[in-house]
Protein backbone atom coordinates (compact mmCIF):
# COMPACT_ATOMS: atom_id res chain seq x y z
CA UNK A 1 0.00 0.00 0.00
CA UNK A 2 2.87 2.49 0.72
CA UNK A 3 4.18 2.06 -2.83
CA UNK A 4 0.73 2.68 -4.29
CA UNK A 5 0.24 5.69 -2.01
CA UNK A 6 3.60 7.14 -3.07
CA UNK A 7 2.71 6.58 -6.73
CA UNK A 8 -0.60 8.38 -6.28
CA UNK A 9 1.09 11.18 -4.35
CA UNK A 10 3.67 11.78 -7.05
CA UNK A 11 1.29 11.34 -9.96
CA UNK A 12 -1.69 13.32 -8.66
CA UNK A 13 0.45 15.90 -6.87
CA UNK A 14 -1.25 15.37 -3.50
CA UNK A 15 0.13 14.99 -0.01
CA UNK A 16 1.13 11.60 1.42
CA UNK A 17 -1.73 11.61 3.92
CA UNK A 18 -4.29 12.29 1.20
CA UNK A 19 -2.78 9.58 -0.99
CA UNK A 20 -3.07 7.07 1.86
CA UNK A 21 -6.72 7.99 2.32
CA UNK A 22 -7.39 7.54 -1.40
CA UNK A 23 -5.85 4.06 -1.28
CA UNK A 24 -7.90 3.18 1.81
CA UNK A 25 -11.03 4.42 0.10
CA UNK A 26 -10.43 2.27 -2.98
CA UNK A 27 -9.67 -0.81 -0.87
CA UNK A 28 -12.77 -0.27 1.28
CA UNK A 29 -15.10 -0.02 -1.73
CA UNK A 30 -13.52 -3.07 -3.43
CA UNK A 31 -13.67 -5.20 -0.26
CA UNK A 32 -17.29 -4.39 0.49
CA UNK A 33 -18.27 -4.92 -3.15
CA UNK A 34 -16.47 -8.29 -3.18
CA UNK A 35 -18.08 -9.38 0.09
CA UNK A 36 -21.52 -8.47 -1.23
CA UNK A 37 -20.92 -10.40 -4.45
CA UNK A 38 -19.79 -13.49 -2.49
CA UNK A 39 -22.83 -13.28 -0.19
CA UNK A 40 -25.22 -12.98 -3.13
CA UNK A 41 -23.47 -15.85 -4.93
CA UNK A 42 -23.96 -18.14 -1.93
CA UNK A 43 -27.55 -16.99 -1.41
CA UNK A 44 -28.51 -17.46 -5.06
CA UNK A 45 -27.14 -21.01 -5.00
CA UNK A 46 -29.22 -21.90 -1.94
CA UNK A 47 -32.39 -19.83 -2.53
CA UNK A 48 -34.70 -20.46 -5.48
CA UNK A 49 -37.51 -18.07 -4.60
CA UNK A 50 -37.25 -14.94 -6.79
CA UNK A 51 -38.81 -12.73 -4.12
CA UNK A 52 -36.27 -13.84 -1.48
CA UNK A 53 -33.44 -13.27 -3.94
CA UNK A 54 -34.72 -9.77 -4.62
CA UNK A 55 -34.93 -9.07 -0.88
CA UNK A 56 -31.34 -10.22 -0.30
CA UNK A 57 -30.13 -8.06 -3.19
CA UNK A 58 -31.86 -4.94 -1.88
CA UNK A 59 -30.87 -5.43 1.77
CA UNK A 60 -27.24 -6.21 0.91
CA UNK A 61 -27.12 -3.11 -1.28
CA UNK A 62 -28.49 -0.86 1.47
CA UNK A 63 -26.19 -2.39 4.09
CA UNK A 64 -23.12 -2.18 1.86
CA UNK A 65 -23.79 1.46 1.02
CA UNK A 66 -24.21 2.29 4.71
CA UNK A 67 -20.94 0.57 5.68
CA UNK A 68 -19.10 2.35 2.87
CA UNK A 69 -20.49 5.72 3.96
CA UNK A 70 -19.50 5.20 7.62
CA UNK A 71 -16.05 3.83 6.75
CA UNK A 72 -15.27 6.67 4.37
CA UNK A 73 -16.36 9.17 7.02
CA UNK A 74 -13.88 7.59 9.46
CA UNK A 75 -11.12 7.62 6.84
CA UNK A 76 -11.52 11.21 5.64
CA UNK A 77 -12.55 12.88 8.88
CA UNK A 78 -10.16 11.36 11.44
CA UNK A 79 -9.29 14.70 12.80
CA UNK A 80 -12.83 15.55 13.69
CA UNK A 81 -13.45 14.69 17.28
CA UNK A 82 -16.90 16.12 17.52
CA UNK A 83 -19.46 13.39 18.17
CA UNK A 84 -22.20 15.58 16.75
CA UNK A 85 -20.34 15.98 13.46
CA UNK A 86 -19.75 12.25 13.18
CA UNK A 87 -23.38 11.55 14.01
CA UNK A 88 -24.44 14.00 11.32
CA UNK A 89 -22.23 12.34 8.73
CA UNK A 90 -23.47 8.92 9.77
CA UNK A 91 -27.10 10.06 9.50
CA UNK A 92 -26.42 11.54 6.07
CA UNK A 93 -24.93 8.25 4.90
CA UNK A 94 -27.92 6.33 6.21
CA UNK A 95 -30.30 8.77 4.54
CA UNK A 96 -28.57 8.39 1.18
CA UNK A 97 -28.40 4.61 1.40
CA UNK A 98 -31.99 4.21 2.56
CA UNK A 99 -33.50 7.07 0.57
CA UNK A 100 -36.44 5.09 -0.80
CA UNK A 101 -37.39 3.83 2.65
CA UNK A 102 -37.41 7.34 4.11
CA UNK A 103 -39.38 8.70 1.16
CA UNK A 104 -42.01 5.98 1.60
CA UNK A 105 -42.15 6.70 5.32
CA UNK A 106 -42.67 10.39 4.56
CA UNK A 107 -45.45 9.40 2.18
CA UNK A 108 -47.11 7.41 4.97
CA UNK A 109 -46.92 10.44 7.29
CA UNK A 110 -48.52 12.49 4.52
CA UNK A 111 -51.36 9.95 4.24
CA UNK A 112 -51.91 10.00 8.02
CA UNK A 113 -51.76 13.79 8.35
CA UNK A 114 -53.64 14.95 5.23
CA UNK A 115 -55.68 11.81 4.47
CA UNK A 116 -55.62 12.19 0.67
CA UNK A 117 -56.89 8.62 0.49
CA UNK A 118 -58.53 6.08 2.78
CA UNK A 119 -59.42 2.43 2.41
CA UNK A 120 -62.36 2.15 0.01
CA UNK A 121 -61.48 5.19 -2.12
CA UNK A 122 -61.12 4.82 -5.87
CA UNK A 123 -57.92 6.58 -6.91
CA UNK A 124 -55.45 7.01 -9.74
CA UNK A 125 -51.70 7.47 -9.19
CA UNK A 126 -49.64 7.71 -12.33
CA UNK A 127 -50.80 4.98 -14.68
CA UNK A 128 -52.35 2.85 -11.93
CA UNK A 129 -56.01 3.14 -11.02
CA UNK A 130 -58.10 1.14 -8.56
CA UNK A 131 -59.82 0.84 -5.20
CA UNK A 132 -57.67 1.20 -2.06
CA UNK A 133 -57.82 -2.02 -0.03
CA UNK A 134 -54.90 -1.59 2.37
CA UNK A 135 -52.55 1.12 3.69
CA UNK A 136 -49.25 0.21 5.37
CA UNK A 137 -46.08 1.92 6.57
CA UNK A 138 -44.21 1.80 3.26
CA UNK A 139 -46.87 1.07 0.63
CA UNK A 140 -50.60 1.01 -0.01
CA UNK A 141 -52.48 -1.58 -2.02
CA UNK A 142 -55.17 -1.14 -4.67
CA UNK A 143 -57.45 -3.53 -6.51
CA UNK A 144 -56.72 -2.54 -10.08
CA UNK A 145 -59.34 -1.37 -12.58
CA UNK A 146 -59.14 -0.46 -16.30
CA UNK A 147 -56.04 -1.74 -18.13
CA UNK A 148 -57.49 -4.38 -20.49
CA UNK A 149 -60.96 -4.15 -18.87
CA UNK A 150 -63.38 -1.45 -20.05
CA UNK A 151 -65.56 0.99 -18.10
CA UNK A 152 -63.58 1.16 -14.85
CA UNK A 153 -64.20 -2.44 -13.81
CA UNK A 154 -61.78 -4.59 -11.84
CA UNK A 155 -59.01 -6.58 -13.51
CA UNK A 156 -58.58 -8.79 -10.44
CA UNK A 157 -54.94 -7.77 -9.97
CA UNK A 158 -53.65 -6.42 -6.65
CA UNK A 159 -51.10 -3.61 -7.09
CA UNK A 160 -48.75 -2.45 -4.31
CA UNK A 161 -47.73 1.19 -4.71
CA UNK A 162 -44.94 2.76 -2.59
CA UNK A 163 -46.19 5.60 -0.43
CA UNK A 164 -43.47 7.84 -1.87
CA UNK A 165 -45.32 7.90 -5.19
CA UNK A 166 -47.86 10.27 -3.61
CA UNK A 167 -45.06 12.84 -3.19
CA UNK A 168 -43.91 12.48 -6.80
CA UNK A 169 -47.09 11.99 -8.85
CA UNK A 170 -50.53 13.64 -8.92
CA UNK A 171 -53.25 11.77 -7.03
CA UNK A 172 -56.78 11.64 -8.44
CA UNK A 173 -59.41 10.62 -5.87
CA UNK A 174 -62.84 9.66 -7.22
CA UNK A 175 -64.54 9.72 -3.81
CA UNK A 176 -63.14 12.59 -1.77
CA UNK A 177 -64.45 16.08 -2.31
CA UNK A 178 -67.43 15.04 -4.41
CA UNK A 179 -68.43 11.38 -4.18
CA UNK A 180 -69.99 11.26 -7.68
CA UNK A 181 -68.54 11.61 -11.16
CA UNK A 182 -70.02 12.86 -14.40
CA UNK A 183 -70.50 10.28 -17.12
CA UNK A 184 -71.54 10.85 -20.75
CA UNK A 185 -73.23 8.62 -23.31
CA UNK A 186 -73.09 9.82 -26.95
CA UNK A 187 -75.93 8.77 -29.28
CA UNK A 188 -75.66 9.56 -32.99
CA UNK A 189 -78.90 9.91 -34.99
CA UNK A 190 -79.34 10.38 -38.71
CA UNK A 191 -80.07 13.83 -40.12
CA UNK A 192 -83.44 12.52 -41.31
CA UNK A 193 -84.48 11.48 -37.80
CA UNK A 194 -86.82 13.48 -35.61
CA UNK A 195 -83.98 14.62 -33.37
CA UNK A 196 -86.21 16.74 -31.11
CA UNK A 197 -88.31 13.72 -30.28
CA UNK A 198 -85.13 11.72 -29.79
CA UNK A 199 -83.78 14.30 -27.38
CA UNK A 200 -86.99 14.22 -25.31
CA UNK A 201 -86.82 10.44 -25.24
CA UNK A 202 -83.20 10.48 -24.01
CA UNK A 203 -83.98 13.09 -21.36
CA UNK A 204 -86.78 10.88 -20.05
CA UNK A 205 -84.50 7.84 -19.89
CA UNK A 206 -81.78 9.81 -18.09
CA UNK A 207 -84.25 11.09 -15.50
CA UNK A 208 -85.60 7.61 -14.85
CA UNK A 209 -82.17 6.18 -14.14
CA UNK A 210 -80.79 9.13 -12.19
CA UNK A 211 -83.86 10.32 -10.26
CA UNK A 212 -82.83 8.53 -7.05
CA UNK A 213 -79.33 9.98 -7.24
CA UNK A 214 -80.16 13.67 -7.21
CA UNK A 215 -80.87 14.17 -3.50
CA UNK A 216 -77.88 12.05 -2.46
CA UNK A 217 -75.58 13.96 -4.79
CA UNK A 218 -76.85 17.31 -3.53
CA UNK A 219 -76.18 16.32 0.09
CA UNK A 220 -72.65 15.15 -0.77
CA UNK A 221 -72.01 18.36 -2.72
CA UNK A 222 -73.05 20.53 0.21
CA UNK A 223 -70.71 18.57 2.46
CA UNK A 224 -67.84 18.82 -0.02
CA UNK A 225 -68.31 22.55 -0.48
CA UNK A 226 -67.30 23.04 3.15
CA UNK A 227 -63.77 21.81 2.34
CA UNK A 228 -63.28 22.52 -1.37
CA UNK A 229 -64.32 25.14 -3.90
CA UNK A 230 -66.76 22.82 -5.69
CA UNK A 231 -69.78 24.44 -7.24
CA UNK A 232 -72.30 23.07 -9.72
CA UNK A 233 -75.42 24.93 -10.75
CA UNK A 234 -77.15 21.83 -12.05
CA UNK A 235 -76.94 18.23 -10.88
CA UNK A 236 -79.84 16.80 -12.86
CA UNK A 237 -79.21 14.87 -16.10
CA UNK A 238 -78.97 16.81 -19.34
CA UNK A 239 -78.87 16.02 -23.05
CA UNK A 240 -76.69 18.18 -25.29
CA UNK A 241 -77.10 18.57 -29.05
CA UNK A 242 -74.31 18.79 -31.59
CA UNK A 243 -74.10 18.35 -35.35
CA UNK A 244 -71.37 15.94 -36.41
CA UNK A 245 -70.19 14.77 -39.80
CA UNK A 246 -72.47 11.70 -39.87
CA UNK A 247 -75.57 12.98 -38.10
CA UNK A 248 -76.99 14.70 -35.03
CA UNK A 249 -75.04 13.86 -31.89
CA UNK A 250 -77.08 13.77 -28.67
CA UNK A 251 -74.99 13.35 -25.52
CA UNK A 252 -76.50 12.30 -22.19
CA UNK A 253 -74.61 13.74 -19.21
CA UNK A 254 -75.49 12.44 -15.76
CA UNK A 255 -74.05 11.86 -12.29
CA UNK A 256 -73.18 8.40 -11.01
CA UNK A 257 -71.08 6.79 -8.34
CA UNK A 258 -67.65 5.70 -9.64
CA UNK A 259 -68.26 2.00 -8.95
CA UNK A 260 -71.61 2.07 -10.80
CA UNK A 261 -70.55 3.75 -14.02
CA UNK A 262 -70.74 0.64 -16.19
CA UNK A 263 -73.94 -0.63 -14.56
CA UNK A 264 -75.84 2.61 -15.10
CA UNK A 265 -74.51 3.02 -18.63
CA UNK A 266 -75.54 -0.52 -19.58
CA UNK A 267 -79.05 -0.02 -18.16
CA UNK A 268 -79.47 3.24 -20.07
CA UNK A 269 -78.27 1.71 -23.32
CA UNK A 270 -80.79 -1.12 -23.03
CA UNK A 271 -83.63 1.38 -22.66
CA UNK A 272 -82.25 3.53 -25.48
CA UNK A 273 -82.08 0.59 -27.89
CA UNK A 274 -85.57 -0.58 -26.96
CA UNK A 275 -87.30 2.78 -27.26
CA UNK A 276 -85.56 3.93 -30.43
CA UNK A 277 -86.50 0.63 -32.06
CA UNK A 278 -90.14 1.46 -31.25
CA UNK A 279 -89.89 4.94 -32.83
CA UNK A 280 -90.20 4.73 -36.65
CA UNK A 281 -89.02 8.29 -37.18
CA UNK A 282 -85.75 7.91 -35.20
CA UNK A 283 -82.76 5.99 -36.51
CA UNK A 284 -79.19 5.50 -35.40
CA UNK A 285 -76.56 6.93 -37.70
CA UNK A 286 -73.57 4.95 -38.84
CA UNK A 287 -70.80 5.50 -41.39
CA UNK A 288 -72.26 5.43 -44.91
CA UNK A 289 -70.99 6.11 -48.44
CA UNK A 290 -73.00 8.05 -51.02
CA UNK A 291 -72.28 7.85 -54.75
CA UNK A 292 -73.10 10.99 -56.76
CA UNK A 293 -74.34 10.50 -60.34
CA UNK A 294 -73.57 13.81 -62.03
CA UNK A 295 -75.77 13.10 -65.10
CA UNK A 296 -78.88 11.90 -63.30
CA UNK A 297 -78.77 14.41 -60.41
CA UNK A 298 -77.82 17.64 -62.23
CA UNK A 299 -79.32 17.55 -65.75
CA UNK A 300 -82.69 19.28 -66.09
CA UNK A 301 -85.70 17.62 -67.73
CA UNK A 302 -85.98 18.42 -71.44
CA UNK A 303 -82.26 18.19 -72.15
CA UNK A 304 -80.91 15.49 -74.40
CA UNK A 305 -80.65 12.18 -72.58
CA UNK A 306 -82.31 13.51 -69.40
CA UNK A 307 -85.48 11.86 -68.08
CA UNK A 308 -88.71 13.81 -68.52
CA UNK A 309 -91.16 14.55 -65.75
CA UNK A 310 -93.25 11.50 -66.60
CA UNK A 311 -90.21 9.21 -66.40
CA UNK A 312 -89.61 8.98 -70.19
CA UNK A 313 -86.45 10.14 -71.88
CA UNK A 314 -86.53 13.00 -74.39
CA UNK A 315 -84.78 12.92 -77.70
CA UNK A 316 -82.58 15.67 -79.08
- In terms of domains, do 271 and 187 share one? yes
Tell me, yes or no, whether 313 lies in a domain.
no
Q: Could you tell me the residue range of the domain that residue 226 belongs to?
A: 181-278
Give SS3 for 192. coil
Whole-angstrom CA distances from 207 to 100, 186, 213, 257 are 50, 16, 10, 16
Is there a contact between 282 and 197 (Cβ–Cβ < 8 Å)?
yes
- In terms of domains, do 19 and 87 share one? yes
- Radius of gyration of the chain from its Cα atoms, rounded to whole angstroms: 36
Residue at a domain's end among 69, 97, 125: 97
In angstroms, the CA 236 to CA 180 distance is 12
Cβ within 8 Å of residue 58, ≥6 positions away: none
Tell me, yes or no, whether 162 lies in a domain.
yes
Tell me, yes or no, whether 267 lies in a domain.
yes
- In terms of domains, do 229 and 207 share one? yes
Residue at a domain's end among 97, 129, 154: 97
**End-to-end CA, the chain:** 115
Is there a contact between 258 and 151 (Cβ–Cβ < 8 Å)?
no
Q: How many CB atoms are closer than 10 A to CB 14? A: 15
The one-character DSSP state at 165 is G
- In terms of domains, do 125 and 92 share one? no
Q: Rounded to the nearest 10 degrees, how much is the dihedral formed by the CA atoms of 132, 133, 135, 136?
A: -140
Degrees to nearest 5, angle at CA 260 with 255 and 264? 70
Tell me, yes or no, whether 301 lies in a domain.
no
- In terms of domains, do 6 and 86 share one? yes
| Per-residue pLDDT tens listing for the chain (316 residues) | 456 666 666 566 666 777 777 888 888 899 999 999 998 888 888 888 777 777 788 888 888 888 887 787 777 766 555 556 666 666 776 667 677 888 888 999 999 998 899 998 999 998 899 999 999 888 999 999 888 887 778 888 999 999 999 998 999 998 876 778 889 999 999 999 999 999 999 999 998 887 566 566 666 666 666 666 666 667 788 999 999 888 999 999 998 888 888 888 999 999 999 999 999 999 999 876 767 677 776 655 554 444 444 444 433 3
- In terms of domains, do 123 and 85 share one? no
Total of domains in the chain:
3
pLDDT tens digit string along 244-275? 888 999 999 998 888 888 888 999 999 999 99
Tell me, yes or no, whether 302 lies in a domain.
no
DSSP string, 4-53: HHHHHHHHHT--HHHHHHHHHHHHHHHHHHHHHHHHHHHHHHH---HHHH
Indicate which CATH number applies to the domain containing 236: 3.30.70.100
**Phi and psi at residue 218, to the nearest 5°:** -65, -40
Whole-angstrom CA distances from 126 to 6, 183, 220, 249 are 54, 22, 27, 33
Q: In terms of DSSP bridges, do strands 128-135 and 154-162 run parallel, antiparallel, or are they unpaired? A: unpaired
In angstroms, the CA 265 to CA 267 distance is 5
Tell me, yes or no, whether 303 lies in a domain.
no
Tell me, yes or no, whether 315 lies in a domain.
no
Which of 211, 140, 218 shows the shortest CA–CA distance to 178?
218
Tell me, yes or no, whether 298 lies in a domain.
no
Which of 252, 232, 256, 234 shows the shortest CA–CA distance to 242?
252
Amino acid sequence: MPDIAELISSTANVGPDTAHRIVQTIITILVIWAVRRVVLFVVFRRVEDVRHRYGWRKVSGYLGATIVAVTLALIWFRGIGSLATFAGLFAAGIAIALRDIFVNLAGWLYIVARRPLVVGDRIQVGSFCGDVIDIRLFAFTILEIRNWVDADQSTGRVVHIPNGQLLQNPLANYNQGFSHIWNEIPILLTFESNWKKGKELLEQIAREHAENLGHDAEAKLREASKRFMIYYTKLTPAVYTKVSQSGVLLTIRYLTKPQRRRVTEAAMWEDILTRIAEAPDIEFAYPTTRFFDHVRETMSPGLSGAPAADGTETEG
